[in-house]
Amino acid sequence: MPPGKEFVRTVIKYDGTKAELRRGLLAVRSALTTDDVAAAGEALARRALELPELAEAGAVAAYVSVGREPGTRALLEALRRRGVRVLLPVLLEDNDLDWAAYEGPDRLARAGRGLLEPDGLRLGPEAVTAADAVLLPGLAVDARGMRLGRGGGSYDRVLARLDRAGATPSLVVLLYDSEVIAEVPAEGHDRPVDAVVTPGGVRRFSR
Is 123 flagged in the annotation as binding? Answer: no
Is 30 part of any known ligand binding site?
A: no
Q: For residue 58, say whether it is annotated as part of any ligand binding site.
A: no
Q: What are the C-alpha distances in Å from 114 to residues 67, 93, 183?
A: 9, 15, 29
21 is in an annotated binding site: yes
| 138 is known to lie in a ligand binding site | no
Does residue 71 have a known ligand-binding role?
no
Q: Does residue 201 have a known ligand-binding role?
A: no
13 marked as binding residue? no
122 marked as binding residue:
no
Which residues fall within 8 angstroms of residue 171, CB to CB, at 6 or more apart? 133, 134, 136, 159, 191, 192, 193, 194, 195
134 a known binding residue? no
Q: Is 19 annotated as a binding residue?
A: yes
145 is in an annotated binding site: no
Does the annotation flag 104 for ligand binding? no
- Annotated ligand binding at 155? The verdict is yes
Query: Which long-range CB contacts under 8 A does 100-106 form with residues at least 24 apart?
Result: 102/62, 102/76, 104/77, 104/80, 105/73, 105/77
Annotated binding residues for substrate: 64, 69
Annotated binding residues: 18-22, 64, 69, 147-155
Annotated binding residues for ATP: 18-22, 147-155
